[in-house]
Amino acid sequence: MKNLLFVALILLLPATLLAQRPKAEEIESLKIAYFTQKLDLSPDEAKVFWPIYNSMQAEQDALRKERMQKMISFRKTTEIDDLTDAQVQSLIISEFDFKQRDLNLDKKYYNKLKSGLPIKVVGKFYRAQEGFKRELLNRYKGGPR
């Protein structure tokens, strides 16, 4: 039972965080500025990077939207105890599926990035992604920048 409660909390946590987040356009503008500064792309590299990045963002956004729709139906259930074992298992397996699909997208776009850009630029991109997440969290929770 504790495991099911834990899974429910994990599934609901992103929804709670989304309710407190700033507008998506604001975040995307900050992210583009951050990546532009951190990656320091040449004009030729920028011509390769930005279309791949934009395509990756579109696919990730679509996956997140689909996941949120599944989470909304899960949130309508007041108690896990009201679900059958098969329903609970289906929800858990569905979450695993979304995580796998997200990982598959990461691998797909890693291969696209490394085929068109120097590997060090690709490495800077992944480091910049993590740095941006930290900076964004600090910015919106009032921490140091």
Q: Where are the domains of the chain?
A: 2-141
Which two tokens mark 2?
């504790």
pLDDT above 90 covers a percentage of the chain that reads: 51
Are 67 and 98 a contacting pair, CB within 8 Å?
A: yes
User: 23-40: per-residue pLDDT in tens?
Assistant: 888 888 999 999 999 999
In whole angstroms, how far apart are CA 76 and each of 8, 27, 41, 83, 138?
Answer: 12, 29, 46, 11, 32
Which tokens is 64 given? 């997140």
3: pLDDT strictly greater than 80:
no
